[in-house]
Amino acid sequence: MGKQTRDVLRNHRIVCTGGTGTLLGKAEPELSIHHLQRGSHGGDQQLGALVATGELDAVIFFADPESSGSIDFDLLALIRLSTQHDIPIACSPAAADLVIAASL
């Protein structure tokens, strides 16, 4: 992660599902991270609830493109909620960079 991205994220409350939060916390220990449940244990739904209640400014959510599963219904629900509540959602690294750059 670049210094400019780190500086932007340092000024925000970061909410992550379990596995992502653990990885990000190890890579960037100075960031303040609120951990939800693992995605498969309800974390995706917790994230959706935060979108629905207006508690998030943006969502960055990377699904595994190599996953052998069919359509990820949790991701589709999160995209639908983000659209309904006019919350920007980024599902690729390039889109995430744009969301972060918009915070500058």
Residue 69 — pLDDT band, cuts 50, 70, 90? low
Contacts of 30 (CB under 8 A, 6+ apart): 6, 10
Q: Which domain holds residue 88?
A: 3-102
Are 11 and 32 in contact by the 8 Å Cβ rule? The answer is no
Q: What's the CATH number where 24 sits?
A: 3.40.50.1380
What's the structural domain count of the chain? 1
Tell me which of 7, 44, 74, 86 is the catalytic residue. Answer: 44
Pick the closest to residue 25 from 46, 1, 4 (CA basis): 1
- Alpha-carbon span 84 to 5, nearest angstrom: 27
Q: Is 44 known to be catalytic?
A: yes
Indicate yes or no: pTM above 0.75. Answer: yes
The pLDDT tens digits of the residues spanning 19-67 come to 889 999 999 999 999 999 998 899 999 999 999 999 999 999 988 777 7
The amino acid at residue 75 is L
**Stated length of the chain:** 104
